[in-house]
Each structure stands twice: as C-alpha cells, then as structure tokens.
A and B are shown apart, each in its own frame.
Chain A
Amino acid sequence: MMSLIIGLGVILVLFILYLIFRIGRLVGLVKGTKEKEHAGNDIHGFLFLLFCIVGLAVFAWYSYAHFDRYVLPVASEHGAITDHLFWITMAITVVAFGLISVVMFWFTYKYSYDENRKATFFPDSHKLEIIWTVIPAIVLALLIFRGLRAWNDITSPASEQAEVVELIGQQFAWTARYPGVKDKQLGDINYKLIDAVNEFGLDLTDKNTYDDFKALELHLPKGKEVHLMIRAKDVLHSVFLPHFRVKMDAVPGMYTNFKFTPTKSTEDMRAELGDPNFNYEMACTEICGKGHFSMRFLVVVEEPEAYEKWKAAQETWLKQNPDYLAKVPSALREVAMIKSGIPVESEAATAATAQTVSISN
C-alpha cells in the first residue's frame, strides 16, 4: 500500500513538472514576442567561470586539509622514489590543469556571444602549434626519463642475499612459504601434487622442501632486501602491499617476482602514526571471484634479529604433516627428518616407515 502511494506521488510530481514545462512553452508562444537572439547566453559563461573557481578552490582545500587521510606513509626504499616521481608529476599536472582550466573557462566567460562583435578569424599559427607540441614533449621526456630509471631499478633481478618468500594466491586467501632456516632454498613444487594438506604441491623428492615452512602472516625483515616469488593456484590474483608501493599479479603457471626493501618496522609505523593498533596489510587487486574483497593478509615487519628468531621458531611443513614422510624417497628419509626437525625416533616417523614398508610389500 505504502509503495503504491509513493508510486502515485512520484507520478503526480512528474505530471506537475510536465505541466510546468508545457505552460512555460505555451506562455512563450502566446507572448509571441520574439526574444532577443541568444538571450540568457551570458549566464552560461559566467557559470563556467564560477564552476572553475569554486571547483579549483574545493580541490585545493580538500587536498590540503585531508592530506593525511589519502596519502599513505611510505615504508620501502623504492617507494620513496616512486612517491617522489608521483608528486613531481602531480605538481606539473596540477599546474597545467589549473592553468588550462582557468584560461578555458575565462574564455567562455569573456567571449560569450555579443551581437555587436565578430569573432576573430584565426585558423592557425605554426608558432603556437610548435610551442605547445614541443613543451609537453620536453616535460614528458623528463618524466619518462626519471620513470624509466626508477622502473629499471625496481625490476632488476633481486640479489642473491635477498630474503626469498613465496606468496601463493588462491580463492580467497593468501599463504606464504619460506625456504626454511637450514638450506634457505625453496623446494620444488608441482601443481599436480596439490591436495587438501599439501597445499603448496611440495615435491618431496626434492631435499630443499624439507625445511620449508608455511606462514599465515607475511613476516619481513626491516632494512633487508626481500624477494617475493608470487604464484597462483586457480585464477589471477594480485599482491598489493600499499605501504610498500608493491604490486604484482599472481599468475597460475608461472612465477612473478618483486623485490623491495622495507624501511619501517610495524613498530616504527605505529610510532609514526601514533596508532598502537596499526598493522600492515596485503590485499588482492586483480578480480578473482566473489571473495575478491576479503583476501586480507597480515604483514609484520620486524627488526632483522626478531625476524630471524621468528623464522627459527616456525615448525617446518613436514613436521606439521609427518604423514607425508611416506612420500619421501626412503634414501632421503633421514635427511628429511633431520632437516624438518622431526625427532628421528618419533612415533610418527616409525608409523610412516611402517606404512611405506607395507606399501612396498
């Protein structure tokens, strides 16, 4: 009933508007007085100028007053460089935007129709054309030059000493795999070995897998180069670390890479922002399905010592899932147990051995 009344009300309002429109037109016809040509034309030139001034003023005010709300503090080495480039570009473009806007809307105001004036016949000027081809070209060349230098540094291969972390995207969660503290090498993987437990698809015939460990938070050392090796299990995802100015797609079937150096630990950032609850976060920026908006991954940046301690304290994946010892070739089983930190005489190990024995029988 209510919606019916609202509906009727809307129709009534529309009808009244229509009547006003009709009456306006009819009155105009009846009056018959030929209105001056282009009457009321000036108002639009004035409105354009007003719009320009008010618009630029609001733009300036909001950009200044809310600066801290929309600008994220930067916490990586290359981020400082790209931010610098961002703000240089911003300065140039805002000046150009402001100037052109003011000039254009000033013209619309200044040169609005006047029957006593004739427009100036001014079809071309090579000088002007050359000036405003060359000036933008030079400015852009400078930006390109700076941009490419930054880009080449950012995308150059990571150093051998970099901390390697593997990030895996899937619908709709992230996981991280660390190469472990013993061999510092990520073990081989094969997507066909993935199952409910072996979510990385670890290939346990490779010795390097034994000390790899899984993390549900991304821990990073402050001041040390980090090499992210990124992949996806199902569809495209994208690693986005806003404070570190890091973004790279996760692609099924290939590794993508991003290297960077965090410059502020979580604690540093908490102090800087005066927010004791602050945490770094990682998000997904490539549409990946209905849970795209919920792929949050917590990021913790620590001092290098704390980071090493944290790493040493993590249980290896194999230790968490000792059943998979059965998939380790028997010749490597002892290495596997030592590297993964499984006590050699533990029950699980014997059970696994027994299992293999029974399988081989």
Chain B
Amino acid sequence: MATVDIHTQADVHHHDDHDHEHHHGNFWTNYIFCQDHKVIAKQFLITGMFWALIGGTMSVLFRLQLGFPEASIEWLRPVLGGWITPEGKLDTEFYLALVTMHGTIMVFFVLTAGLSGTFSNFLIPLQVGARDMASGFMNMLSYWFFFLSSVIMFVSIFISTGPASGGWTIYPPLSALPQAMSGSGLGMTLWLVSMALFIVSSLLGGINYITTVINMRTKGMSFSRLPLTVWAFFFTAIIGVLSFPVLFAAALLLIFDRSFGTSFYLSDIYINGEALPNQGGSPVLFQHLFWFLGHPEVYIVILPSLGITSEIIATNSRKPIFGYKAMVGSILFITILSFVVWAHHMFVTGMNPFLGSIFTLLTLIIAVPSAVKIFNYVTTLWKGNIIFTPAMLFSIGLVSFFLSGGITGIFLGNSAVDIQLHDTYFVVAHFHLVMGSASFFGMLAGVYHWFPKMFGRMMDDRLGKIHFWITFIGVYLVFFPMHYIGIAGFPRRYYSWTNFELFNSFADLNMLVSTAAILTLSAQFIFLFNFFYSIFRGKVAPANPWKSNSLEWTTPRHPGHGNWPGEIPTVYRWPYDYSKPGAKDDYIPQTVPYSETPESNLPHENDLIKLEMEDSGAIVVEDKKH
C-alpha cells in the first residue's frame, strides 16, 4: 500500500470532481436510480439471479414431463392452473412455452445481462482504474431498460394465451402466425417488445464498456497490462454492439409481418383452412438474421466467463496465466470468427449447400483458438500451488465443461455429420455444456471471487464447496447422458416419445437426467442462502482476501462512488506477477513499481525502471495535455 500513498501525495491536486461520493443523496439516488457502476452491477446481479431461478425452475418442470411421463403433476395445479390438463399432465403447448422461456431467459436475461451486466459493470472501472463508467447516466439507463424488458417478459408468462412458445429462436412462420399456436399471439408480441428493450439496454451497456476501457484506463494501464477479464469484457461488448442491432432488425421485420401485413418471412402459407395472401418472403432470411446475432451471442455469453476464469485460475494457482498474449489473441480471433460462422446452425434449412461448405470451414477454424485457451488453462495449473477456493473450483469446472462441450462442436460444425445430429439431444448436450453450464459456472465463480469486493464480507467457504460439488456432478449427470440420447436420434422439443417405436427407449436415462436436474436446482438454494446470509452476516473481508494483483483490491473495503478515496493508483506492471522468482511474497500487485522489486525483476523489466522515473516526473506535463 505504501506505493499508493507515495503517489497520492505526489500530486494531490489530481483529486477531481468525484469527491462528492459517500452517502450523499437519498435512498432513491443511492440504491434505485443510481449511477454508480458498482450498484448497477449489483442490480444486474440480483435481477439475473431472480431470472436464473425462474429459468431453472422452468427446466425442472419440463424435465418432470420428460423424465416421469407417467406421473401426475396435479399437485402443481395451484401454481400452473389451466396449464395442467384434466388428466394431471402438462399441457403440450405450455411445454413448448416452458422450453422457449427457459431458453430466452437463460441466454439473454441470465447469461447476457446477468453476467456481462454484473461483471463488466463491476470490474471494468475497478480493474482499469476509473472512477466510474464513461457515462454513469447511460449505464443507469442500461439497467432500467433491462428492468423494463424483464417486467414485460415476466408479465408475458402470466397471460392467458401463454408466453412465446415457438422456441427461443422464434422462427417464423410459427412465431408470426397466432393461428399456428396460441403462444404466437400476445405472448409473442410481448416477447418482441421485451427483446427490443433488452437490445437497447445491451447497446447502452456495451457502448459504455468499450468507451471506458479505451479512454479511462489509469496511468500506466496500457492495453498489454489489462487483466484478461477486461479484455474479455471489452471484446464481448464489441460483439454485442455489432450484432445486437441485427437482431433488432430481424425482430422489427417480424413485427411488420405480424402486425402490418408485410411478407418478409412469409410465403405460400395455407393454415386453418385459409390461404394467406403473403408471397415472396423467406423464413430462411429470418434464420440468417437471427443467427447473425444468435451465434455471436453464444460468445457474448461465454467470453466474460472465460475472462473471469483466467483471472481466478491465475490467482489461485499462484502462477501467471500461461500465454497472456495467446489468450488475448485467441479472444480476438474468436471475436472476429464469431461473425462469420452463423450459418452452421442452418446446414439443413434449405440454404444453398455451397454456403454450408464455407461455414463448415470457418466453424472448425474457430475450434483452434478455443483449444488454445483450454491448453493454456491446463498449463497454468501445471506446477502451480493451487488453492481451491469455491471460485477456483467453479473455474476448473468451467474448463472441464468447456472441454467436454467444446469437442462435440467438432461434430456439429461438420455439415455432413450435422445432418444426423442437427436438432437432436446431441445439440442440447453440446450447447448446455459449452455455453450454458460453462458460462453459468463462470458467473458463479465470479460471484464467489468478487463477493468480498461487492459486499465487504466473505461468503461461507464450506457451503460454497458443497454447492460446487453437487452442481458440478449434477450438471454432468444432466447433460452427459443426453449425448447418447442424441446419437440415438431423439429430436429436441419433444413433449413425449411414445408416438415412435424408435424413440420408445431410454426412459431410464431420461429419468436420471430429470432427477439430476432437480438435485442441481436444489443445490442452488445453498448458494442463495450463502449469498444473502453473507451479505449481512458473513465474515468481514480483508482488503485483499485472495492475495490478488489486480487493481480492484487496492480500493477500501467499501469503495464509495469514485472507487478510490484519494488519487487513482498508477499501474506499473501486468496483473499476473504471481510467484515471481526472487520476490518475497508470491504476488506483486500491479501498483508496485519495478524500482521497488529489483530482486525479482526480469532483465527487460529493469530497463523499465528508468521509464517509471521519467513518467512520474512527467505527470504534470501530461495532465496539461488533457
């Protein structure tokens, strides 16, 4: 800390207009319409947790139907009412509504808003050394647009015709025609409105993240000294800003088709005894537009988690992340490629087969940077000194999921093999492991790791570990068996299998999957208890509980609005100087100059000492330039 003090005194005049921080303002400005990135992050987190609970519960509901098709769920009538048939079964259309809402909620509300919204908001200013986001007001708007979007989506669950039910990909014509299914009526309208607001929220947030990372890094925080979390959030935001507008366009055209009689996606349809006038549109066009967002979206979901994991694995292995530049390079490469692989979701949709060849090629290329990331994680563990905090456990779990879910992508990305596997449970297993569970684990790891910074207290270690083991084993029990079911050809989104002789097997595996799903969901209540209990009663957190290098741990236990009470610390080194040979501790925070650590400096770092000296002399000059 000494270093920080030195520089605080060096130029006290640098105090800027952020001193009005603590406890000014009232309840509304401090906790509700707050512009402090840390409060907004917590708002995103709590809302995300709320949605995760709903999305998870929905999955258990439809897993009950799939795992125990004979059982009566009459006992759920008080909750589900008319969605239970007189025979005590789940309504077939409501089954699809559950599947659809589970997908929408998990992908967008939990793993996009809940994950990026929480950690990009919380960590970017703290880790780059900024007082707040570039625009606190836009940041606040971002949350409240998300909130509004959430309210509308939530309301749609309760309307009498049911929420949107055409799958989270809302392919028209099914989603465009209310006569095709009841969920395509008001439910679909609300879905589209909600998603439009969601996109606004996501863009407001994304622009802020990008601007903050580019413009508001503290002195010395060059791009090559950014923690990998920030790199990941930065690229995630870029992907979001470039791809979400396309979903907006797709949704807008769908709204036109639904409400104003246009024919962008509709052609030659005869339904309910009536030939519709629409001609000339193409449902395949929608799929192109949807997946132009939809595929980058899976990277929007997974990249922040990979960033979080990089940071946590390095910290808790007490080793620098292996191949920092390769990690950044692979994120960059994934970001670029994520825009040119979308049609691998569409090999058998009637798209020109030549396109299929191109997208096979591009898709399998993206496996290379992903593989590099896994190898680098494993090498980071090698000869480390691994401390299994709950965050570390979840991070290792993430790497395992990313591996087992990632390799099945090599099957699905290969168009010839995909013919058989497309839209079967093999796909369900693939994406739930590689982006669903992996991102979810990243999110949990992040919460465990940064909880002390968020709330100034520690979460209970033992409960965290119990939570991890049940969830880790539970997730594998849920999704691993699905590979077999998928290879056997079982299609997705089926309410029951009994109509087919071919699919009239695997009742045992389906029962196992459903039981494991219930177990896994139950384990999340351990987490919820731990989370809320620890906010109020957890052990008081030390300043730097994980002995981590990055900048957020130099703030006070409860950072106010503005994050650092005095001068923003200057950064002198990258964030991964763990277990450096010669150093007395096994970590050297980013704020320690090379001039103070001659014993551990590498040759080229000794050369930097001179630069450090020059820089501190040049501060005033630089300030004038601003």
**A contact set with B: CB distance below 8 Å:** 3, 18, 21, 24-25, 38, 41, 44-45, 47-48, 51, 55, 59, 62-63, 66, 69-72, 79, 81-82, 85-86, 89-90, 92-93, 96-97, 100-101, 103-104, 107-108, 111-114, 117-125, 128-129, 132-133, 136-137, 140, 143-144, 147-148, 150-152, 154-155, 170-171, 191-192, 194-196, 201, 233-236, 238, 240, 242, 245-249, 251-254, 256, 277-279, 281, 283-294, 296
Contact = CB atoms under 8 A, between A and B. Distances in A.
A286 B298 CA distance: 21
20 contacts: A66-B484, A86-B420, A100-B375, A103-B378, A104-B399, A111-B317, A120-B384, A122-B382, A122-B383, A124-B326, A125-B322, A128-B379, A132-B372, A133-B368, A148-B360, A196-B273, A246-B419, A253-B279, A283-B491, A293-B499
A249 B422 CA distance: 11
Contacts of B283: 236, 251-253
Contacts of B266: 252-253
Interface string B371-408: 11011011101111111100001001001100110011
B96 A290 contact: yes
Contact of A252 (B173, B181, B399, B420): B173
A111 B384 CA distance: 6
A119 B384 contact: yes
A82 B360 contact: no
B324 A123 contact: yes
Contacts of A292: 96, 493-495
Contact of A151 (B323, B357, B480): B357
Contacts of A154: 416, 419
B375 A72 contact: no
B365 to A, nearest CB: 7
A119 B379 CA distance: 12
A96 B407 contact: yes
Given A140-B365, A253-B268, A292-B96, A121 B319 contact: yes
A122 B322 contact: yes
B13 to A, nearest CB: 37
Contact of A249 (B348, B487, B580): B348
A214 B92 CA distance: 30
A255 to B, nearest CB: 8
Contact of B499 (A119, A151, A238, A296): A296
A144 B362 CA distance: 10
A86 B422 CA distance: 13
Contact of B323 (A45, A81, A129): A129
Nearest to A113: B387
Contact of A97 (B399, B403, B414, B493): B403
A238 B423 contact: yes
B209 interface: no
B286 to A, nearest CB: 10
B417 A85 contact: yes
Nearest to A62: B484
A191 B274 CA distance: 10
A152 B419 CA distance: 13
B382 A290 contact: no
Nearest to B379: A128
B500 interface: yes
A206 to B, nearest CB: 17
Contacts of A242: 420, 489, 502
Given A70-B488, A236-B174, A120 B360 contact: no
Contacts of B367: 136, 140
A72 B489 contact: yes
Contacts of A201: 270
Contacts of A21: 460, 463
Contacts of A195: 273
Interface in B250-274: 266-271, 273
A38 B387 contact: yes
A196 to B, nearest CB: 7
A180 B4 CA distance: 87
Given A144-B364, A256-B349, 14 more contacts: A38-B388, A55-B476, A104-B377, A108-B381, A113-B385, A119-B319, A123-B323, A148-B357, A148-B416, A196-B273, A245-B420, A246-B419, A253-B281, A285-B423
Q: Which 9 A-B pairs have the closest CB atoms?
A: A253-B267, A155-B353, A256-B350, A242-B489, A119-B579, A44-B388, A150-B416, A120-B383, A147-B414
B381 A81 contact: no
A118 B579 contact: yes
B49 to A, nearest CB: 19
A235 B170 CA distance: 12
Given A72-B489, A81-B416, A123 B484 contact: no
A291 B324 CA distance: 51
The residue among A122, A240, A252, A277 with the most chain B CB atoms within 10 A of its own CB is: A252
Nearest to A286: B423
Nearest to B399: A104
B167 interface: yes
B416 A253 contact: no
A120 B579 contact: yes
Contacts of A252: 173, 266-269, 283
B407 A41 contact: no
Contacts of A293: 92, 493-497, 499
A151 B177 CA distance: 34
A113 B371 CA distance: 27
B505 interface: yes
Given A59-B480, A107-B378, A285-B422, A121 B579 contact: yes
Contact of B167 (A45, A253, A287): A287
Given A118-B586, A121-B581, A171 B180 contact: yes
Contacts of B567: none
B357 A285 contact: no
B93 interface: yes
B476 to A, nearest CB: 7
B501 interface: yes
